[in-house]
Amino acid sequence: MTTEQHRSMTINRRRVLKLMAMTGGAATFLQAYPLFAIEQAEPGYGRDPDLLHPRVPWGKSLSKAQLRALARLGDLIIPADEHSPSASDLDIAGFVNEWVSAPYPAQRDDRTIILAGLEWLDKQARRQRAKDFNSLAPASQASLFDGLASAVKIGAATSATAGQARFFERLVYLFAGGFYTTAEGMADIGYVGNVPLRTFDGPPAEIRRRIGV
Amino acid sequence: MNDMLHEVIVVGSGAGGGMVTYYLTRAGVNVLLLEAGRDYNPRTETPMFNWPREAPLRGESTPDKQGGFYDATIGGFSLPGEPYSTAEGTDFNWWRARMLGGRTNHWGRQVPRYGPDDFKPYTNTGREIDWPVSYEEMARWYDRTEALIGVFGPDESEAIHNSPVPPNAIRQLPPAPRASELLFAKACKELGLKTHAHPTAILTEPLGERSACFYATNCVRGCSIGAAFDAVTGFITPARKTDKLKLITEAVVFEVMADKAGRKATGVRYIDKKTGERREARARVVVLAASAMESCRILLNSRSEAAPKGLGNSSGLVGRYLSDTTGARLVVQLPSFENLPPHNEDGVSQPHIYAPWWLHGTDKEKAGADFSGGYKVEVLPYGNGRFGIPTLSGTVGPLLKFGRGLYGTALKKHMRRYYGSIIGLRALGSMTLNEHCFLTIDPTVKDRWGVSVPRFHWQWSDEDLRRCTHMHKTLHRVARQMKAVVIEDHYAAALDAGRLGYVAGGRSHEVGGCRMGDDPARSVLNSHSCSWDVPNLYVADGAPFVTHAEKNPTLTIMALAMRVADDIVHRLEAKTL
């Protein structure tokens, strides 16, 4: 391991401990599960990557079971409707895999949160006499997920709910973020830019009228 | 090549160094340009139109690309092997771009002029100290700079006191205001703040071989069509077409060589990054434009028996009186912008209009604005509202914060309803001169080549706190007038606790350290940015700044650099160099 890699790994473990300290109550939630630090730090894309031919140089690290669970969670977050497809239609779990497998500190923090959260879901599933989260009936999966959403509203009331809220919010951020940066997601919310225009003339009269200018 | 005596060595190829290089080579003067970074060509390297989803991590910021994957910068706040230190109690973020063209490859292109009260604040307003040049003297350099780089701006009749604009004969027409900016302008007007187009170095009509903007790709990526100004397109490429330029990239200058008396620069020493070797280059004239902090560092590291405090530093002022732009911002939600039909708000990558500082003289006194200078107010660009391609942190993050706990169909409905209705408001302000903001050379820390690094010392003043508190109140007033709901205010808690809530250097406007003046005991450079001590040594980046107005510094850097080059040409002809 190079000094650089050793330093990144050391920093990662320090960062994770600091993260746990910062999240206060979430420490209990996260501490129950082993630190999911990547032991061998891979290189990132470097300081001067080719912007016209981007590459993801790090390996994707999630297991099939984890990806399956994430795909299910992703569809609870972003289901298909008449406007746009679901997260799994666009393999947003694949994007989450890229994210949590990245060697950078922020992504490693998210890896810890996401993997600890998936472990927690499996534990809840075993309490319901299922083998794991993936084996639960869809309605039970949805119910567990809804419990996480409620934790957001309760907030840091207990250490458990703080950790659950953090897991929920990072999941939603990554799935919604991955989704709304696809062509289908952008079409859904109505982004119509990134096209060349000869002139920029401002909003049409109808919009000016509606906003009162 | 080591033995060759060049006419002029220019250190750094950014806004100042690029301008000096352009002007000198086109005037027939031989220039050796040394650039610490690699050669770079926005024409062939810029990712125009590329989507975030094509980039790793949807293009989000990482330690490798701190401005985001597609940001043009090769560099960042932290550079491997190029550390800097800060004194205890000091926070300082030092952005460095190691590439041909420097920070002009990703800058915002905002180019307001400094006004009469900015060059003579003491004479005109009784505060700060005067520059050795007046606006009247600088006007023609601004004219010539703007004509060269291409700017859009308001009709000259719209200019308000102390915010001069390009003459109509020079400026190009501005793009129309965005929907959010129209509402902003209306609210400002109702509050007594005038708004007009923001002078910006982006073409709306072709200029020479450079195309007009097509209002899409974010300028931070660079510009392959030459519409958004950068030093490579505007200065280095034309200079390369003359036979007067020798360019060496990957050359990190660390010292200016001088004669035994320390009164004449003889050349520079640099690291050849490809081999790690230390090399020398000799010249009759040396122009430092390595970026303000770096130029100060080079001078302070150029110590000798004759110049024990560093070259050109008999005043002791090298590295002193550093300054940076102050500021505040809010993220707000506009109910009237919910569920609007899709429309394109991309435009150029900066606000099309803004409210220049409006309180002067007795108005300022009556308003209780007890601080030097002022601040401008704008709609914040980059990913807010419908402005720019949606990203995780710029677009989705704020929308989710505004709807915590939502998922499924409810989440999709939330996104559809609120997308486009969350915008930012920001104020950028001046900074009061402050003897507690300076850099020294760290006694022990060295960079990867064994060169001592700068150590920053920084403390904001009560006057800066008063100015930021005032701008924060103004932002809230504007938000209320726009009938906006404030959803994010990072500055409130800080300001209440007596802090600015902003780390110096974060906006990359750090200038000063080699201030110009009329008195060699109280300045480093004369009114032509030439060293008092070393008459063949100039500084042409942001280091010569005396005070820091509420105007982005780059246009003034370029105008002063053009004066430097012009002075060199005249002195070479008159043989006083």
Question: Strands B251-258 and B75-76, how do they pair?
Answer: unpaired
Name the pLDDT band for A18 (thresholds 50, 70, 90): low
* pLDDT at site B4: 81
- Give the alpha-carbon dihedral of B190, B193, B195, B198, to 10 degrees: -150
Q: What is the mean pLDDT of residues A11-24?
A: 46
Return mean pLDDT, chain A.
86
Q: Which of A45, A76, A207 sits opposite B56 (nearest CB)?
A: A45
**Which residue carries 């043009």 as its tokens?**
B72
* pLDDT at site A153: 80
* pLDDT at site B384: 74
Q: Is B514:B233 a contact under the CB 8 Å cutoff?
A: no
Q: Is A187:A85 a contact under the CB 8 Å cutoff?
A: no
Q: What is the mean pLDDT of residues B278-293?
A: 98
* Other C-beta atoms lying within 10 Å of the C-beta of residue B498: 10
Return mean pLDDT, chain B.
97
Question: For the segment B165-211, what is each residue's pLDDT rounded down to a tens digit?
Answer: 999 999 999 999 999 999 999 999 999 999 999 999 999 999 999 99
Q: Which residue of A has its CA nearest to B50?
A: A52
Model ipTM? 0.94
- Give how far B111 is from chain A: nearest CA, Å: 20
* Other C-beta atoms lying within 10 Å of the C-beta of residue A46: 11
Out of A22-26, B233-237, B379-383, least confident range:
A22-26
Name the pLDDT band for B402 (thresholds 50, 70, 90): confident
- Express as a percent the part of chain B with pLDDT over 90: 97
Instruction: Give dist(CA B526, CA B538) in Å, integer.
Output: 9
Best of A8, A42, A45, A47 to disrupt the B interface by mutation (most B CBs within 10 Å)?
A: A47
Q: Is the pLDDT of residue A117 over 80?
A: yes
User: By C-alpha distance, which of A109, A102, A105, A96 is closest to A36?
Assistant: A109
* pLDDT at site B3: 64
Q: Is the pLDDT of residue B2 over 50?
A: yes
Q: Is the pLDDT of residue A8 over 90?
A: no
**Residue A79 Cα distances to A84, A179, B256, B549, angstroms:** 9, 11, 64, 51
Token output for B180:
């959010």
Question: What's the longest Cα–Cα distance across chain A?
Answer: 64
User: By C-alpha distance, which of B181, B234, B177, B179 is closest to B203?
Assistant: B234
Question: For the segment B107-128, what is each residue's pLDDT rounded down to a tens digit?
Answer: 999 999 999 999 999 999 999 9
Token output for B507:
């906006």
Q: Is B247:B33 a contact under the CB 8 Å cutoff?
A: yes
Q: Is B68:B50 a contact under the CB 8 Å cutoff?
A: no
Question: For the segment A47-73, what is each residue's pLDDT rounded down to a tens digit?
Answer: 999 999 999 999 999 999 999 999 999
- Give the alpha-carbon dihedral of A120, A126, A128, A130, to 10 degrees: 120
What's the 3-state SS for B48-61? CCCCHHHCHHHHCC
B182/A79 CB distance under 8 A: no
* pLDDT at site A24: 39
Q: What is the mean pLDDT of residues B60-68?
A: 96
Q: Which of B53, B341, B419 sits opposite A189 (nearest CB)?
A: B419
Q: Report which secondary-structure segment, H or E, holds B33.
A: strand B31-34
Name the pLDDT band for B383 (thresholds 50, 70, 90): low
**Residue B488 Cα distances to B322, B420, B476, B492, B493, angstroms:** 30, 16, 11, 10, 11
B390/A185 CB distance under 8 A: yes
Contacts by residues B407-411 (CB-CB < 8 Å, ≥ 24 positions apart): B407/A76, B407/A77, B407/A145, B407/A149, B407/A172, B408/A76, B408/A77, B408/A78, B408/A79, B409/A79, B409/A81, B411/A77, B411/A78, B411/A172, B411/A176
Name the pLDDT band for A34 (thresholds 50, 70, 90): very low
Q: Which residues contact B66 (CB under 8 A, 6 or more apart)?
A: B73, B76, B77, B78
Name the pLDDT band for B567 (thresholds 50, 70, 90): very high
Q: Which residue of A has its CA nearest to B393?
A: A177
DSSP assignment letter at B138 = H
B415/A195 CB distance under 8 A: no
* pLDDT at site A22: 44
Out of A17-26, A147-156, B74-83, B277-286, least confident range:
A17-26
Q: Which of B346, B392, B408 sits opposite A194 (nearest CB)?
A: B346
B179/A212 CB distance under 8 A: no
Q: What is the mean pLDDT of residues B63-83?
A: 96
Judged by DSSP in three states, B206 sits in: coil
Contacts of B216 in chain A (CB under 8 A): 193-197
Question: For the segment B469-488, what is each residue's pLDDT rounded down to a tens digit?
Answer: 999 999 999 999 999 999 99
The percent of chain A in helix, strand and coil, each rounded to the nearest 5, is 60, 0, 40
Contacts of A59 in chain B (CB under 8 A): none
B408/A180 CB distance under 8 A: no
Q: Is the pLDDT of residue B256 over 90?
A: yes
Instruction: Give dist(CA B217, CA B42) in Å, integer.
Output: 13
Cα first-last separation, chain A: 61
Name the pLDDT band for A41 (thresholds 50, 70, 90): low
* pLDDT at site A3: 38
DSSP assignment letter at B113 = P
Name the pLDDT band for A4 (thresholds 50, 70, 90): very low
Token output for B286:
């040396």
Classify the C-alpha dihedral B405-B410-B413-B417 as positive or negative. Answer: negative
Residues forming beta bridges with residue B431, ordered by sequence position: B548
Q: Which residue of B has its CA nearest to A103?
A: B62
* pLDDT at site A177: 98
Produce one character per residue of B260-298: b if its CB has 16 or more CB atoms within 10 Å, e if not: eebbbbbbbbbbebeeeeebebbbbbbbbbbbbbbbbbb
Q: What is the mean pLDDT of residues B299-324?
A: 98
- Give how far A116 is from chain B: nearest CA, Å: 19
B62/A178 CB distance under 8 A: no
Cα first-last separation, chain B: 22
Name the pLDDT band for A160 (thresholds 50, 70, 90): confident
Contacts of A83 in chain B (CB under 8 A): 412, 416
Instruction: Give dist(CA B152, CA B33) in Å, integer.
Output: 30
A76/B80 CB distance under 8 A: no
Q: What is the mean pLDDT of residues A139-147?
A: 97
Instruction: Give dist(CA B419, CA A3) in Å, integer.
Output: 45
